[in-house]
Homo-oligomer: A and B are copies of this chain.
Amino acid sequence: MKEYAYKLEMKTRDYECDVQGVINNANYQHYLEVTRHEFIQSLGQSFEEWHNRGIDVMVSKITINYKASLRGGQEFISCLNLKRTGVRYVFLQDIYRKSDMKHCISAEVHCVCVVDGVLSRGDEIEAPFKPFLIS
């Protein structure tokens, strides 16, 4: 496994499966969001506190590659790295099944900062992320 800025252990839930017995595609997007929020909380930050200061971080684009499926009741490790590209923060996220470290998902999530309704350069939230930014 590569090195990551943050890793979170999670477990799929049976209601997240679809008829084929595998996790429905959209639920991985939930897992990816939970991982970003927990990462930000681990830095002592929160979307809610940013929002109260007029800063909204919004997903502008997401790309998910589905490589292998998870089934109900399986543990997995959700990992992320972070880089800046212009005004965008780009989260590079991977999900691995815990039992055999099979690589299930790779994703790129582009986020932008909107301050008081206007697209910003994103510098308002850079400080806590700085130690983790890869180039």
Residues of A at the B interface (CB closer than 8 Å) are 13-15, 17-21, 24-27, 29-30, 33-34, 37, 41, 46-48, 51, 56, 58-66, 72-73
* Contact A15–B20 (Cβ < 8 Å): no
Q: Tell me the interface secondary structure of chain A in the complex.
A: mixed
Residue from B14, B15, B56, B62 in contact with A64 in the complex, judged by beta carbons closer than 8 Å: B62
Copies in the assembly, this chain? 4
Least Cβ–Cβ distance between A83 and chain B, in angstroms: 18
* Contact A73–B41 (Cβ < 8 Å): yes
Least Cβ–Cβ distance between A47 and chain B, in angstroms: 7
Tell me the complex Cα distance, A123–B18, Å: 25
Residue from B19, B25, B62 in contact with A72 in the complex, judged by beta carbons closer than 8 Å: B19
